[in-house]
Structure 1
Amino acid sequence: MIAVRGYEGERVAVLGLGRSGMSAARALRAGGAEVLPWDDGEAARDKAAAEGFAPVDLTRQGALQGCAALILSPGIPHLYPAPNRVVAAAWAAGVPVDNDIGLFFRSLATGDWDIYDTPPKVIAVTGSNGKSTTAALIHHLLTEAGRASQLAGNIGRGVLDIDPPGEGGVVVLELSSYQTDLARALTPDIAVFTNLSPDHLDRHGGLGGYFAAKRRLFVEGGPDRAIIGVDEDEGRYLANQMAEAPADDRLIRISAAGKLSGPGWSVFARKGFLAEWRKGRQVASLDLRAMPGLPGAHNHQNACAAYAAARCLGLAPKVIEKGLTSFQGLPHRSQLVAEAGGVRFVNDSKATNADSAARALAAFSRIRWICGGLEKEGGLGALAPHLGNVAKAYVIGREAAGFALHLGDTPHEVCTAMATAVARAAAEAQPGDTVLLAPAAASFDQYDNFERRGEDFIAEVARALDATNRAT
């Protein structure tokens, strides 16, 4: 655990007692703070009470009196579409609002670090798509190379739950826009920006606010090295702002859209090959095409980002190549779950918006596409260039018929239920086809989260293949 420093003997309120909220409460208590926890859910309050905390109703007038800070969980709105009433009360009372990420960065480094020859480092990864895979891939590369690494944040453990890193240790964080937007301290050694596409627009007041939340990690965090995807205008803008000169090698530009040029440091993927260029010359090249855990251009972008981060920490290209080859991917992210009769079954339930689904569609040909769910703001226009890869779509979700209207002339069938969609796709698939779950929508109309949706897909694939085996 990272004990929170700076609040010893102070009263600190914690709103929201999920994973990050409880982690913050424990770490604050370990640092000597008096914690005032609250959650609207009775079950969450009971869980906190079982750990010795005394819940305090923060919605009552004057509840924040004498508090040094309010620590907010990421699922609770602090500005858009409207500030939570406890947040508004904190503003009125002059109580600073922070989150567990801010507490982490203000508490991580200690005087003990002076004895280390190689102080610990923090790599923070943000972006719309690919940040989970990129963070996990960086952690994998470091672990395979024998470097001490911990994975936390929006993936793995809560940031305050990790062990204090030791000599040469690395902490790899995946950070969502909810986390970067509110944190009062953001000081990673290396910051990574993968890409940007419309998402969470209601929470950020539009696309500009969403990008601004990501941008904070760089312009307010002041990382020693910035690794920035430049396949969208926002990334190009951010890279331009971070560089002091064309050859400034504190910035590494990455791309999966084509060759990058210039005197600076760049890593890009083209036709399945990753290339590293510095000072106008190529210094390394890797073949990504046969790496099973990294299919498609979107994963090649993830590989470029992870490669760049590993290079910043001194790993050699051959060592990185070995780690990339052994990476198996993450559950629910382009996850190969079965292969039978020449048909692949791929679970990309994490493709919860149109842009991430489009990336999945671009990674395969002859797709039996399972899609649908709770549509997000931003529409489905990003899918159009890739619908030619779809042999047929099988639409799920409570509003499946409405979702199907976006598919135009693409052959499709309204299935509503996952079981029906998988059974129909498996029955109609031919050798060489890929049955792909890439919903382009949130899961909450039918499932608690995208993980449950992906697990249902995997279970139905097993059921369909078992039925096929029995029939033959």
Structure 2
Amino acid sequence: MIPVSAYAGARVGVLGLGRSGLATARALAAGGAEPVLWDDGEAARGRAAEAGFAVEDLARERAAAGLAALIVSPGIAHLYPAPHPAIALAQAAGVPVDNEIGLFFAALEAAKLDFDEGPEPKVVAITGSNGKSTTTALLRHILAAARRPVQMGGNIGRAALDLDPPGPGETVVLELSSYQTELARALAPDIAVFLNLAPDHLDRHGGIGGYFAAKRRLFEAGAPARAIIGIDEPEGRFLASLIPPEDLIAISASRRLRGEGWPDWRVFMNRSHLTEWRGGRQVAAIDMRACPGLLGAHNHQNAAAAYAAARALGLGPKAIEAGLASFPGLAHRMERLGASPSGVIWVNDSKATNAAATARALAAFEGVHLILGGRAKEDGIAALAPLFPRIAHAYLIGEAAERFAAELGETPQTRCGTLQAAVAAAAAAAAPGAVVLLSPAAASFDQFADFEARGDAFRALAAPHLAPPDAAPRDDREETAR
């Protein structure tokens, strides 16, 4: 745990008692503050009380009186579509509103003032619409494989304040969502990574402009010493244009950045090779066909970002190449579960909670038996239309089933309602060599606690259909980069 001492002796509200909220309460208490906790869920309040914390309704003036700050969990709206009543009350009273990430960076900067035991720890913060979890886990894996001390947290794994205080020369790799970057009062990464932007969380940010502004804060308020920017979308190219060229590494999975006009330091895909270009020449190239956990164009962008960050941290190309080759992939993101005795491949892509993420999965396969649906995002799946020919049959689940059925048009489809029914239908219909892909293009909250729970359920339902690993037939077409 990283203690937060900035509020020692003060009364601090903590709103939202999930993983990050409880970690925040513990860190505040360890730093001498008096945390007062609230969650709209009775079960969460009960767990906080059992842990010994004071629990009061922070939406009531009496409970909110005298707060030095209100610390808000990422899932709670603070502006759009409407602020939570406790946040509205704090804002009206002039009480600072912050989140766990703001406290993390403030605590780390304060600790650095007394850091005289060796090289200061570094923080790499990774954001973007799609791929940030894989990139975060990949960078952690590369550093660990090179025997560099490293911790990983934020929007993946452990909450930021639940991490151990970093030691000399250690790297902390954080995945940060737009919810986390938008509200943090302190942002101070040494290296910041922007992967891409696709429509998501638009209700929380008042539209695509607000969503991009939340991501952009990491580079403006954060002022990183090194910015790594994916330039495959217009927003990335715009953001890159704001960064001093000497502080920028441009990355691309679709452009060969060998011409003029880009910064001196570039990492990009050149056919099947991840290529580093610096000083007007190629300095390294890695054959991504030798990296089975990173197949597909979307993973090539993730690899480019992790490679650039590792190079900025001082690793050599050979050490990075070894880490890329040994990376096993991320659970719930294009996770190959195995194959049936007849050769049907089963893939868990539960983390694909928007159409852009599902598009990346569909682009890797043909003849797909696609399970999709859940709680639809604002833009639905209309953007997938160019990839509909890859779908042999769609199996629709959750709240979005009716809407997605209409958007799929003439694409063969079955409304299944539940994941269990969809798996049974897909298993019965898929021919040898086909792919059964869970890539929902929707949030999970209508039927599951989160995408991990949805992916775990799919894995369990798929298990009876899979052959033992040593008996599963090989299909060289799987996960072919298109």
User: By the TM > 0.5 criterion, same fold?
Assistant: yes
SS at match of 1:37: strand
Other-structure match for 2:386: 385
CA offset at residue 450 of structure 1? 1.5
Please give the alpha-carbon distance, in whole angstroms, between the structure 2 residues aligned to 1:317 and 1:229. 20
Report the AA paired with residue 92 of structure 1: A
Other-structure match for 1:221: 222
1:253 to 250, 254, 262: 250
CA offset at residue 399 of structure 1? 4.5
Matches within 5 A, 1:27-66: 27-66=27-66
SS at match of 1:392: strand
CA offset at residue 389 of structure 1? 2.0
CA gap 1:312/1:373 in 2 versus in 1, 3 angstroms? same
CA gap 1:185/1:398 in 2 versus in 1, 3 angstroms? closer
Other-structure match for 2:352: 351
Q: Once structures 1 and 2 are overlaid, which stretch shifts more, 176-185 or 65-74?
A: 65-74
CA deviation profile, 1:306-344 (whole Å, cap 9, x unmatched): 010000011111111111111111111000111233322
Please give the alpha-carbon distance, in whole angstroms, between the structure 1 residues aligned to 2:206 and 2:400. 26
Whether the 8 Å contact between 2:381 and 2:404 is mirrored in structure 1 is: no
Matches within 5 A, 1:61-460: 61-109=61-109, 110=111, 114-243=115-244, 248-260=245-257, 261-262=259-260, 263-340=263-340, 341-460=342-461
Whether the 8 Å contact between 1:15 and 1:39 is mirrored in structure 2 is: yes
Please give the alpha-carbon distance, in whole angstroms, between the structure 2 residues aligned to 1:307 and 1:160. 26
Please give the alpha-carbon distance, in whole angstroms, between the structure 2 residues aligned to 1:397 and 1:54. 38
Whether the 8 Å contact between 1:294 and 1:329 is mirrored in structure 2 is: yes
SS at match of 1:150: strand
Whether the 8 Å contact between 2:380 and 2:404 is mirrored in structure 1 is: no
SS at match of 2:289: coil
Report the AA paired with residue 181 of structure 1: E
Whether the 8 Å contact between 1:5 and 1:106 is mirrored in structure 2 is: no
CA RMSD of aligned residues (A): 1.7
Other-structure match for 2:6: 6
SS at match of 2:455: helix
CA gap 1:349/1:104 in 2 versus in 1, 3 angstroms? same
CA offset at residue 191 of structure 1? 0.3
CA offset at residue 47 of structure 1? 1.6
Please give the alpha-carbon distance, in whole angstroms, between the structure 2 residues aligned to 1:402 and 1:12. 43
CA gap 1:271/1:391 in 2 versus in 1, 3 angstroms? farther
CA offset at residue 443 of structure 1? 1.8
Other-structure match for 2:15: 15
CA offset at residue 113 of structure 1? 5.2
Other-structure match for 2:480: none
Please give the alpha-carbon distance, in whole angstroms, between the structure 2 residues aligned to 1:204 and 1:372. 23
Please give the alpha-carbon distance, in whole angstroms, between the structure 2 residues aligned to 1:91 and 1:422. 47
Report the AA paired with residue 131 of structure 1: K
CA offset at residue 264 of structure 1? 1.8
CA deviation profile, 1:334-365 (whole Å, cap 9, x unmatched): 00111233322110011111110001101222
CA gap 1:40/1:424 in 2 versus in 1, 3 angstroms? closer
SS at match of 2:442: coil
CA deviation profile, 1:201-247 (whole Å, cap 9, x unmatched): 0110100000000000001100000011111111100000112xxxx
Please give the alpha-carbon distance, in whole angstroms, between the structure 1 residues aligned to 2:239 and 2:459. 39
CA deviation profile, 1:49-82 (whole Å, cap 9, x unmatched): 2222121221212433222111111111110001
CA gap 1:364/1:240 in 2 versus in 1, 3 angstroms? same
CA deviation profile, 1:162-184 (whole Å, cap 9, x unmatched): 11111110000001111000000
Please give the alpha-carbon distance, in whole angstroms, between the structure 1 residues aligned to 2:405 and 2:270. 34
CA offset at residue 405 of structure 1? 1.8
Q: What fraction of aligned residue pairs are identical, expressed as a percent?
A: 62
Length, aligned pairs only: 463
Whether the 8 Å contact between 1:7 and 1:32 is mirrored in structure 2 is: yes
CA deviation profile, 1:390-429 (whole Å, cap 9, x unmatched): 2222222244243122112322233223233223323333
SS at match of 2:458: helix
Report the AA paired with residue 114 of structure 1: F
CA deviation profile, 1:250-302 (whole Å, cap 9, x unmatched): 20111111212335211112433211111321111111124221121111110
**TM-score, with normalisation over the residues of structure 1?**
0.94
Report the AA paired with residue 2 of structure 2: I
Report the AA paired with residue 50 of structure 1: E
Please give the alpha-carbon distance, in whole angstroms, between the structure 1 residues aligned to 2:411 and 2:114. 59
Other-structure match for 1:470: none
Q: Once structures 1 and 2 are overlaid, which stretch shifts more, 22-31 or 335-344?
A: 335-344
Please give the alpha-carbon distance, in whole angstroms, between the structure 2 residues aligned to 1:14 and 1:90. 12
CA offset at residue 466 of structure 1? 7.3
CA offset at residue 100 of structure 1? 0.6
CA offset at residue 84 of structure 1? 1.2
Whether the 8 Å contact between 2:338 and 2:467 is mirrored in structure 1 is: no
CA offset at residue 370 of structure 1? 1.4
Please give the alpha-carbon distance, in whole angstroms, between the structure 1 residues aligned to 2:285 and 2:159. 35
Whether the 8 Å contact between 1:400 and 1:416 is mirrored in structure 2 is: yes
**TM-score, with normalisation over the residues of structure 2?**
0.92
